[in-house]
Amino acid sequence: MRFSPLRSGRKALLASAAMLGALAWSLAGDPAAAQGRSSRRGAAARTHEVESGETLTEIAGRYGVSAAALQEANELEDPNRIRAGQTLSIPASTTSSATAAQGPSRSARDRASSTEESGRASSDGEPGGRAARVTRAGVVLYVAAGQTLSDIATSYGTTLSRLKAANDLEDANTLRVGQRILVPGAREVVAVRRARREDPPSNPITFLRVSTDESRTVRLFDGRGRPRTSARDDLDYLMRSVGSGSQRRIHVDLLRMLQSVADHWPGRRILIYSGYRPHRSGQFTARSKHNVGRAVDFRVEGVGNSELRDFCRKFPKAGVGYYPNSTFVHLDARDERGYWVDYSGPGEAPRYGRERREAEGDGEDEAAADRAATRARRNRATPADGADGAGAGEGAPASAPGGATPAPTEGEPAEAEPATAAAP
């Protein structure tokens, strides 16, 4: 049987083409597999330079790989011992080749976009435009000028101790601009706001209760001007009724005036002769300021009583009693200014009169005190029901012309106070 030369040549050509096609296919391989290998090679070629404070877990989470895979890829014996500046090779992620070929998933793109936008929102003022970002370990941010660790802790609702531990900080006050800070556990980037800076608390005051020789050194107010509870407790105790041991909360207006006195003479002790006095039947004044924790009889160590009197008379809502022949000045918190002079000595009945000094602007107060004293003497001659005239109280008249309110004395033998005429 004969074969046509033309037919034989055509068959040989077809066979050669088939062989060449098979060879090309075997060299090229599956296009999808080739793309996957290319993607894996590209992923394996990624590197990361370790920054100060970063952890292996955080870096692994950033690139979507496990910490174990990252440790193995870099032949690290201890995953906790990486150093700043070290270059790490990032292995291929665990996603399928098809997913890798298609690029990041929609959710991943959304998360990246959200993180980027949040970072941009809080990166104002950060050096080099380095934005805060969310990682698996928490939020990573970079300290901006003027920020403190307290600002960061307050803004993210965490504590200073936790931030110090997460960032291996010994001193919270040594942050530098651009320093990387990890906020552990944070899930979103927030704006770091400066925490409110409080003024320092008020100057310390040493109070001495004369009759018991007890003293306390306290700071009455905090940095926002609020009374400190512990200080008030100490002062309430010192100003208690020594005879009965009873206490009453001292009014905050009186505390503020005492603080002003102490600030005017810093470092000087304030000596307390009488503070709270419980109401007694037969006391001359039915509503003594001592009965409600609004009055104190005191002096400032090393300061003359006349000088103390002049300073206290500057308070717009205070009652000031001056006792030239005694050892203290009376001060109380009230709605209107009041002033009186009592020349009685220790243990004597009150003797109100004109202040024997020449001082500009005192005339009206002195005359008012004289008129009010006349009314007080008339009231003492006809004591109110239930009063036996044995004691005296604070300012029998409710008020007096010119704002002066006289105040007869009120003895306190039960408290075993020093033998002085007690102020109202």
C-alpha closest to that of 284 among 418, 397, 404, 419: 397
Q: How far is CA 340 from CA 133, 275, 350, 376, 392, in A?
A: 70, 19, 11, 12, 15
What's the pLDDT at 41?
Answer: 47
Percentage of residues in the chain with pLDDT exceeding 70? 62
pLDDT: which is higher, 276 or 380: 276
Amino acid at 130: R
When pLDDT is averaged across residues 300-320 and rounded to a whole number, the result is: 96
For residue 69, the model assigns a pLDDT of 87
Work out the pLDDT band at 40, boundaries 50, 70, 90: very low
Statement: residue 122 has pLDDT above 70: no
- Identify the band that residue 374 occupies on the pLDDT scale cut at 50, 70 and 90: low
Instruction: Give the CA-trace dihedral at 22, 28, 34, 37, to 10 degrees.
Output: 110
Percent residues over pLDDT 90 in the chain: 37
**By mean pLDDT, which of 207-216, 241-250, 318-327, 411-420 is the weakest?**
411-420
Most confident listed range (171-175, 192-196, 335-339, 345-349): 335-339
Average pLDDT over residues 361-388: 46
Report the candidate in 250, 229, 226 with the shortest Cα–Cα distance to residue 238: 250
Residues of the chain with CATH 3.10.350.10: 41-91, 118-197
Domain at 41-91: CATH architecture: Roll (3.10)
Write the CATH number of the domain with boundaries 118-197.
3.10.350.10
pLDDT over 90 at 305, yes or no = yes
User: Which band of pLDDT confidence, cut at 50, 70 and 90, is reported for residue 317?
Assistant: very high
Tokens of 163: 């931030």
pLDDT digits (tens, 9 = 90+) for 52-107: 767 787 788 778 888 888 888 988 888 878 888 888 989 986 543 334 444 444 44
322 phi and psi, to 5 degrees? Answer: -110, 130
pLDDT at residue 194, rounded to an integer: 80
How many CA within 13 A on the CB side of residue 141?
A: 35
Strands (E), 80-128: 87-89
pLDDT confidence bin for 245, thresholds 50/70/90: very high
Torsion over CA of 309, 303, 298 and 239, rounded to 10 degrees? 140
pLDDT tens for each residue of 199-215: 788 999 999 999 999 99
Plot region of 201 (φ>0 → left; ψ -120 to 50 → alpha; else → beta): beta
pLDDT at 398 over 70: no
Check pLDDT > 80 for residue 401: no
